Amino acid sequence: MAKEQLQVLNALDVAKTQWYHFTAIVIAGMGFFTDAYDLFCISLVTKLLGRLYYQEPGSTDPGKLPSNVSVAVNGVAFCGTLSGQLFFGWLGDKMGRKRAYGMTLMLMVICSVASGLSFGTDPKSVMATLCFFRFWLGFGIGGDYPLSATIMSEYANKKTRGAFIAAVFAMQGFGILAGGMVAIIVSAAFKTKFPAPAYVVNPAASIGPEADYVWRIIVMFGALPALLTYYWRMRMPETARYTALVAKNATQAAADMSKVLNVEVTAEQERVDELAKGDNNFGLFTKQFLKRHGLHLLGTTSTWFLLDIAFYSQNLFQKDIFSAIGWIPKAKEMSALEEVFKIARAQTLIALCSTVPGYWFTVALIDKMGRFAIQLMGFFFMTVFMFALAIPYHHWTLSAHRIGFVVIYSLTFFFANFGPNTTTFVVPAEIFPARLRSTCHGISAASGKAGAIVGAFGFQYSEQGIGVRNTLIILGVINFLGMMFTFLVPESKGKSLEDLSGETDAENGRESAEARQENGRH
């Protein structure tokens, strides 16, 4: 059997749920609150940007963003996020979770504010500025994925670790909700102060000059929650697993965790030095990693990739689907600010009824049901509901059946969040060794963002090319493939991080072979 675990790591594994667990959830979670707010608020203001900057005089319909501009505005933050996940994932393993963590937050604050500014007033310069700063905003957001997940998994006890990591991720739900609510409040306030007629009544007057402030305020508000948590983030000590297993400083790890846990922890520098000499220090691009964790990495990357194609194409283009089924009036029947208000109201309703509850169902049940069962179930129901929307699509477009469409559409969101959207975030933070944990989580998350880019860019073209019905059928098939790839992902419920990765075995790795084989079974 494997040797006894380091005392400092065992103390974390068996610790009762304490106040520091909740502060860690809030500090790490506010990053995700900001992430979700920043990534999703742009979908609330794209139609307003079209009216403001691409209005053609004499046209019977309000201005719309050209499809290439729309794709760039919606997708550029994802490109930044993908780059940030890979870079900061690697950096978190090289220089420590805490140091890299502060950088991501400051980048998010600066770029959130800068996104709402623009160099010049013509459409090209406004969109270029917006895209430039949203790329770097995405870069900061990308770093938050591997670092938040890794910090929370390394701080948590093994009994409730899944719930704690899922709770950090669940703050996304509140971020999406906040995006909708800020848009509702800002647009309602401006609408009351500066009333405007519908476009069909008076095209020029329907877009007041004040509307230009609305999208800027909505976009810039994302800097506030990130700024508020910066001080607390910098006060968190480095995780004991990084300090002991990667930096090889047992004394510092014991001192940090003694303060956090309020218990005396013995430093075991000799054990740490002994571990450093073992053959468990293989790198990412080695045969040993491929043999031990290759299938696991394939499982975490493929499921996250497939999930995000479906999840982000659904999320970013909710407003188009609502318009298609008549839940939101035609654009020309509304003023610019009324359109922002109605899109925000519809998205907030979906978030409140399905997105937010889905996240917290996972938090409540992940350590009881396990990651594997929740992910499989989520993909299964997403597949079923996608086909239920797609096959009788004409039926749902009739006004008598619109509520049914919205209910089923909401259920696909519910099971995405009470399912793979949360578990794909949790599992990569648990099953890889400490020295590669942040990097592997970053690779898995970047694979997800590649899926999000396919969803954000691809949905726009497929919807125009093959229609909403056929696009929904394709998304149903993608969800089914996600269900199949879930079988590559191991169950990590109730196990120590070191048992899962076998990294505290000081012998030639033989002792952990049984544990790893067991880990591969469900």
* Residue spans of alpha helices (H) in 262-331: 269-277, 287-316, 318-324
1 part of a folded domain: no
- Sign of the alpha-carbon dihedral angle for 60, 62, 68, 71: negative
What residue numbers bound the domain in which 400 lies? 10-272+284-505
H or E element that contains 186: helix 161-193
For 310-337, the pLDDT digits (tens) are: 887 776 556 656 666 667 788 888 888 9
CB atoms within 10 A of CB 195: 12
pLDDT value at 503 more than 80: no
Count of structural domains, the chain: 1
Query: Does residue 516 lie in a domain region?
Result: no
Q: Which residue has the higher pLDDT, 129 or 509?
A: 129
CATH of the domain at 164: 1.20.1250.20
Establish if 135 belongs to a structural domain.
Answer: yes
Q: What is the pLDDT of residues 170-184, one digit of tens each?
A: 998 889 889 989 999
Q: Answer yes or no: is 514 within a domain.
A: no
Structural domain includes residue 515: no
pLDDT surpasses 60 at 502 = yes
pLDDT tens-place string over residues 370-387: 999 999 999 999 999 989
Going by C-alpha positions, the residue among 32, 40, 232 that lies closest to residue 145 is: 32
Helix (H), strand (E) at residue 347: helix 336-350
Phi, psi values for residue 371, rounded to 5°:
-70, -45
User: What tens digit of pLDDT does each residue of 97-153 get?
Assistant: 888 888 898 899 999 999 888 877 889 999 999 999 999 999 999 999 999 999 999
d(CA 228, CA 231): 7
Q: Tens of pLDDT along 429-488? A: 999 998 999 999 999 999 999 998 888 777 767 767 787 788 888 889 999 999 999 999
Residue 3 counted as domain residue: no
Each residue's pLDDT tens digit, 204-257: 888 888 888 999 999 999 888 888 888 888 888 888 888 888 888 888 888 888
Q: What is the DSSP letter of 488?
A: G
Residue 12 has pLDDT above 50, yes or no: yes
Residue 230 lies in a domain: yes
Does residue 455 lie in a domain region?
Answer: yes
- In this prediction the pTM is 0.87
